[in-house]
Each structure stands twice: as C-alpha cells, then as structure tokens.
Amino acid sequence: MAFVSGGTTIRADINQALIEGPSDVGLIGAEALPLLNVPAKSGIYLKATLAGADLRNADALKRDIASEYAAITRSYNSATYATQEYGLTEYLDDSFKSDMNRFFSIEASSAKFLLRQLKLSHEKRVSDLLWASTTPFATADQTRAVAYTEALLTTINAPADVAAAKLALNKLGYSPNAVLMSANVFERIRRSTLLQNMFFGVISDVGPRLLDEKQVAAGLGVEKVLIGRAARNASNKNIAYSGSFIIPDSQIIVADLQGGEFTAGGIGRTLVWADDAPGGFISETFRDDSRRSNVLRVRMNTAEVVIDANAGVRITTNYV
C-alpha cells in the first residue's frame, strides 16, 4: 500500500473495484439526478420558465408585405446552488489490519463498506428531495385511479395513472421517459391484473406469472422503470438492524430524466464540485502514525438540485 508522506493518496483502484462490485444494486439516485461536474463550490444558473420565456407560446403571426414581424421579449429567472461535502473515515490499526488480513483484505472491504454508506446517504438525499411534499413540482400531485393495496390487486390501474401523468406533462411540452418507484410498489403492480392482461391476455385460469422491469416499462409507456431497492438501517447505531427501503411507497414519479449539461433538460442533477471531488465519489488513504493506523476516507462534494420543476409529477399510491 502506497502513502504520500504527510499527505493523502486518492485511490482510483479502490474506486474502480467498488464501481464493479454489487454495492450499487438498487440505487437509483444517480440515475434520477445524474452527476454533473461544476467548476465552483457555489454559483448561479439561469432558468427559462414556460411563462417568462414564452417557451410554448404560438406567437407567430401573419406578416404583410413591408410590415414588421411580431416580436417578443423573453425573460429568464436565476437559481443558485451550493455544494456540501459529505464523507466518512475509518481507522485501520496496524495490529488489527495484520490480524484481519489473514481472512480477507480488510482495506478493500472497509473501503467498500464506506463507499456504500456514502452512496446510501446520497440516495437518501435524492429521495428526500424528489419525494418531499415541499419540493415545488409545477404540476400538483396526481391522485391514483385505484389505491395500490393488495385487496385491490385486480383493479389497480397503473397504466391509466401514468398515462394521466404523462398527459399532464405533455401539456407543458415534456415527453416523460421514466417512472420511479419503490421496490414494494413495483412488486405489487407487476402482479396487478390489468397490467398483466396487457401482456398475457385475459386468462381465467391464472397461474404464477410476473412481469419483468422491461415489460412494466412497456406497459406504462416509458423507456425505463427505476426501482428503488436500496435499503438502509432505520434503527439507531448499536441497536438491532431494522432494514427499510429508502425510496418511499407513498408516491411514484413520472419524469423526464436527462444527463449532461442543463440545456439537455431533465428534472435535475447531482452537481459535483469538480476541483474538490472529480467524478463524484472519492476514495482516499493516508497515514496517522499517532494512532499507528492507516486511514480510509470516502467523500463527495455535491448539491442535489431540481433544475426543472415542470419535468416531473408525482402520483399518490395510497400503498398499504
């Protein structure tokens, strides 16, 4: 293991091993709000609103010979962001490391655990932003046709709910490409009679059958379904583990998801301060001789932002 005397070494090898590992299973935060490098810790960006910027106005008028063309004055709004650093460290005492390395690479395993915790924290922030009632989506939350309960499995109508949400977004000029939902909601609607009938037909003798993610996406009329399967410990530290899914069951989100620069559109981004944490998730090691320990650190410096409140709408499920 290499160290920079008196400094810190960024461990790209650990990052790569973790990216290829199974720890990302069920995480949808980086797909819902794709990572985008920004050059400054905080800043201002411009927003073109539907009303102020006349983005959907049919204003072109007939022009007579030698007359002027119809003209408009377009205005823009501004919004700000400020990234925040998040991170965890773990001390690996020399004697502890020597003992544990008899069984497995304690450094690689500890780094994997740390980065998983960092990504779970990011997932929680994305969930808290997109599913929070205080998030100002332009379209009011939609009411489902039928509550998403087990007792109403034969009448749950997710295709109709999503179609209504898509039409609401179409009126704003958007063509949504994704539906985001919890693992619990997905497992229920994939068994719902009306959605299954779209693929299997109406069969009186119903045997075991399940729709996969691609079939559910096709049934809902979108490119992809993002399923939040990531779970976290809902108990306090040093108390018996109690697993809980991060993405809530209360609502599904129909959205236009895009990556890259803001001009590509989409509901939002995870803004990454490139000068401090290029790539988003950083793994580092350094030496603390006073503790006779190697130190692992994982960190990110980000701001999760909704850049276009028109690009998504929530559907209340009343899941029980």
Q: What is the pLDDT of residue 20?
A: 42
Residue 164 has pLDDT above 60, yes or no: yes
**Number of structural domains in the chain:** 1
Q: What is the pLDDT of residue 21?
A: 43
Higher pLDDT, 207 or 178: 178
Residue 125 has pLDDT above 80, yes or no: yes
pLDDT average, residue stretch 275-299: 90
Q: Which pLDDT tens digit goes with each residue over 82-115? A: 999 999 999 998 887 777 766 667 777 888 889 8
Q: What is the pLDDT of residue 42?
A: 97
The span from the CA of 306 to the CA of 248, in Å, is 18
- Does residue 201 fall inside a structural domain? yes
pLDDT tier for residue 77 given thresholds of 50, 70 and 90: confident
φ, ψ at 69 (rounded to 5°): -80, 155
pLDDT mean across residues, the chain: 87
How much of the chain, in percent, has pLDDT values that exceed 90?
59
DSSP string, 249-270: SSEEEEE----SSGGG--SEEE
- Does residue 260 fall inside a structural domain? yes
- Does residue 15 fall inside a structural domain? yes
Q: What is the pLDDT of residue 99?
A: 72
**Structure tokens that stand for 303 in this block:** 């701001």
Torsion-angle region of residue 265: left (phi > 0), alpha (psi -120 to 50) or beta?
A: left
Q: What is the pLDDT of residue 241?
A: 85
Per-residue DSSP letter, 190: T
Q: Are 266 and 308 in contact (CB under 8 A)?
A: yes
Per-residue DSSP letter, 152: G
Per-residue DSSP letter, 212: -
Is 32 strand, coil or helix? helix
- Does residue 59 fall inside a structural domain? no
- Its domain, for residue 33, covers 8-53+76-316
Return the bridge partners of 9, or none.
285
- Does residue 69 fall inside a structural domain? no
Of the CA atoms within 13 Å of residue 9, those in its CB half-sphere come to 14
- Does residue 275 fall inside a structural domain? yes
Q: Which pLDDT tens digit goes with each residue over 183-240? A: 999 999 999 999 999 888 776 555 557 899 999 999 999 999 999 999 999 887 788 8
Could you tell me which of 216, 303, 298, 320 has the C-alpha nearest to residue 23?
A: 298
Q: Which pLDDT tens digit goes with each residue over 231-276? A: 999 887 788 888 899 999 999 999 999 999 998 999 999 999 999 9
CA-CA-CA-CA torsion sign (108, 109, 111, 116): positive
Could you tell me which of 136, 157, 130, 114 has the C-alpha nearest to residue 47?
A: 136
Cβ neighbour number for residue 122 with a 10 Å cutoff: 22
Start-end of H helices in the chain: 12-20, 29-32, 94-100, 106-130, 158-170, 183-189, 193-200, 213-220
Higher pLDDT, 63 or 170: 170
Per-residue DSSP letter, 69: P
- The lowest-confidence range among 36-50, 157-171, 220-234, 297-311 is 36-50
Burial class (CB in 10 A: 0-12, 13-18, 19+), 289: exposed
φ, ψ at 64 (rounded to 5°): -90, 160
Return the bridge partners of 103, or none.
none
- Does residue 1 fall inside a structural domain? no
Is 22 strand, coil or helix? helix
Residue 1 has pLDDT above 60, yes or no: no
- CATH value at residue 274: 3.90.1690.10
Residue 62 has pLDDT above 50, yes or no: yes
Q: What is the pLDDT of residue 205?
A: 56
- Does residue 2 fall inside a structural domain? no
